C-alpha cells in the first residue's frame, strides 16, 4: 500500500481470536490496512463483523494472535514495556458508542475531563488545569457553568460532547471513534460529526471511525474499508467506493442506503449478497489492488473479471 502520505497506523496480517481449543473463535483475520496522518479512515460493517474488535486491538484492549500493529513506526501489539504502553495510552484515545455507559455518573464533568490531565501531569498548576478544561468545554459547545454538574443532568448529545472533550483534551495523535453517533438522535448526529471535523482541521487529529452505516461515513471519511465476518473485503477513497464499488457485498450495502427522493427509491435496484457465489476451494483469495488505492478481497478468477469489467468501463 505505497503512498506518499505519512502512515500513522499500520496493520499487517492481523488475526484476533477468542477462546481456545474447540471453543476457539477467529474474530478477525488477514486484516491489512494503513491509516494516514490527519485523515479519517472509516471501518464499516454489520454487527459482529469485527470492526470494534480491531479498534480495541489498536488500543491494546484486545490481544492479537498473529500479525503486527505499528503506531508511529513502533510495534504496539504483543509484549511491550509499561513505559511504552503508558505513552501510547495518551497518544491514542477513544470515543465510545454509548455516552451514558462510558461516563462515571458519580463524577463531575470537571473531573471526567480532567482525569487524563491528572494521570499524565499535563498541566502546570491548578489554574492552568481549570483553564484547559473550561476552554475544551467551550470548544465542544458546552458552558463553563456546567463544569460541576453530573452526566445524568445532560442530554445524550451533550454527554457525547463530554466524551469527545475527555478524549481530545489529551491532544491525541489518533482517536478511535466507535460508532460515536449511533446512540444519538438524528438531529444531533450532524452536530457531533461537524464537531469532530472541526477538531481535525484545528489539531490535525487522525480518526479511525467505526460505523455500520455507509451513509453516515460518507460525510466524514477520506477512505473507507468494508468488513464482513472478520475480513476486509474492499478499501477505497470515499467517493471512489460510492461511485465504483467492486465487491458484491459493498454493492449490497450501498443498495440498502436510504434515498430521500421517492421516485429514485422506487426505481432503484436492491442487491442481496450471497457468500456462496464465491468459490475459494482451490483458487484462494487475497487482498489485491485492482485500481490505484482501491483494494478488493478476491481470487485470481475474480480479479481477472473485475479488471476486465473496469477496462470495459474505461476506469483503468
Provide φ and ψ at 180, rounded to 5°: -70, -10
Which long-range contacts (C-beta less than 8 Å, at least 24 apart) are formed by 140-143?
Answer: 140/164, 140/165, 140/168, 140/195, 141/191, 141/195, 142/109
Residue 2 binned pLDDT confidence (cut-offs 50, 70, 90)? very low
> Would 290 be classed as within a structural domain?
no
**Cβ proximity of 71 and 88 under 8 Å:** yes
CA distance 104 to 75: 32
At 213 the three-state DSSP class reads coil
Residue 1 has pLDDT above 50, yes or no: no
Residue 10 has pLDDT above 60, yes or no: yes
Q: How far apart are the first and last CA of the chain?
A: 18
Residue 111 binned pLDDT confidence (cut-offs 50, 70, 90)? very high
> Would 172 be classed as within a structural domain?
yes
For 187, the domain range is: 7-275
CA distance 235 to 245: 10
> Would 200 be classed as within a structural domain?
yes
Residue 270 binned pLDDT confidence (cut-offs 50, 70, 90)? confident
Residue 3 binned pLDDT confidence (cut-offs 50, 70, 90)? low
> Would 303 be classed as within a structural domain?
no
- Mean pLDDT, to the nearest integer, of 135-159? 92
Provide φ and ψ at 29, rounded to 5°: -150, 150
Residue 265 binned pLDDT confidence (cut-offs 50, 70, 90)? low
Cell of 90: 495518551
CATH code at position 130:
3.40.50.300
90-108 pLDDT, tens digit each? 999 999 888 888 899 999 9
User: Which positions ≥6 away from 53 have C-beta within 8 Å?
Assistant: 16, 27, 28, 62, 230
At 159 the three-state DSSP class reads helix
Residue 86 has pLDDT above 50, yes or no: yes
The C-alpha angle with vertex 225 and arms to 224 and 226, in degrees rounded to 5, equals 120
> Would 304 be classed as within a structural domain?
no
- Mean pLDDT, to the nearest integer, of 180-189? 82
Q: For residue 8, list its beta bridge partners.
A: none
Mean pLDDT for the chain overall? 91
CA distance 176 to 169: 15
Which helix H or strand E contains 308, and what residues bound it? helix 300-312
> Would 19 be classed as within a structural domain?
yes
> Would 241 be classed as within a structural domain?
yes
Residue 252 has pLDDT above 80, yes or no: yes
CA distance 51 to 226: 9
Residue 257 has pLDDT above 90, yes or no: no
Q: Higher confidence at residue 276 or residue 8?
A: 8
> Would 227 be classed as within a structural domain?
yes
Provide φ and ψ at 48, rounded to 5°: 85, 5
The residue behind cell 498473529 is 66
**Cβ proximity of 298 and 247 under 8 Å:** yes
For the four alpha carbons of 265, 314, 31 and 19, in that order, the dihedral sign comes to positive
- Number of structural domains found in the chain: 1
Amino acid at each position: 500500500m505505497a503512498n506518499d502520505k505519512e502512515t500513522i497506523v499500520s496493520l499487517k496480517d492481523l488475526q484476533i481470536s477468542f477462546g481456545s481449543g474447540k471453543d476457539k473463535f477467529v474474530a478477525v483475520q488477514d486484516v491489512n490496512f494503513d491509516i494516514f496522518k490527519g485523515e479519517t479512515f472509516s471501518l464499516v460493517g454489520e454487527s459482529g463483523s469485527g470492526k470494534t474488535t480491531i479498534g480495541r486491538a489498536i488500543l491494546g484492549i484486545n490481544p492479537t494472535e498473529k500479525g503486527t500493529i505499528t503506531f508511529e513506526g513502533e510495534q504496539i501489539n504483543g509484549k511491550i514495556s509499561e513505559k511504552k504502553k503508558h505513552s501510547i495510552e495518551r497518544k491514542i484515545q477513544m470515543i465510545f458508542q454509548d455516552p451514558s455507559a462510558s461516563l462515571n455518573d458519580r463524577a463531575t464533568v470537571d473531573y471526567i475531563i480532567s482525569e487524563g490531565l491528572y494521570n499524565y501531569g499535563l498541566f502546570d498548576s491548578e489554574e492552568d488545569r481549570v483553564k484547559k478544561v473550561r476552554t475544551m468545554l467551550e470548544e465542544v459547545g458546552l458552558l463553563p457553568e456546567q463544569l460541576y454538574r453530573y452526566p445524568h443532568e445532560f442530554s445524550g448529545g451533550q454527554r457525547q460532547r463530554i466524551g469527545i472533550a475527555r478524549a481530545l483534551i489529551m491532544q491525541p495523535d489518533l482517536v478511535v471513534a466507535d460508532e460515536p453517533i449511533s446512540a444519538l438522535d438524528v438531529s444531533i448526529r450532524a452536530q457531533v460529526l461537524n464537531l469532530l471535523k472541526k477538531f481535525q482541521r484545528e489539531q490535525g487529529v487522525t480518526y479511525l471511525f467505526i460505523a455500520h452505516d455507509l451513509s453516515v461515513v460518507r460525510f466524514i471519511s477520506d477512505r473507507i474499508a468494508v468488513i464482513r465476518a472478520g475480513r476486509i473485503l474492499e478499501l477505497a477513497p470515499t467517493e471512489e467506493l460510492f461511485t465504483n464499488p467492486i465487491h458484491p457485498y459493498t454493492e449490497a450495502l450501498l443498495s440498502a442506503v436510504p434515498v430521500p427522493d421517492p421516485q429514485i427509491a422506487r426505481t432503484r435496484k436492491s442487491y442481496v449478497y450471497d457468500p456462496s457465489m464465491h468459490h475459494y476451494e482451490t483458487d484462494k483469495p487475497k487482498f489485491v489492488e485492482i485500481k490505484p488505492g482501491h483494494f478488493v478481497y478476491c481470487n485470481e478468477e475474480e480479479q481477472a473479471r473485475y479488471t476486465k469489467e473496469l477496462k470495459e468501463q474505461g476506469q483503468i
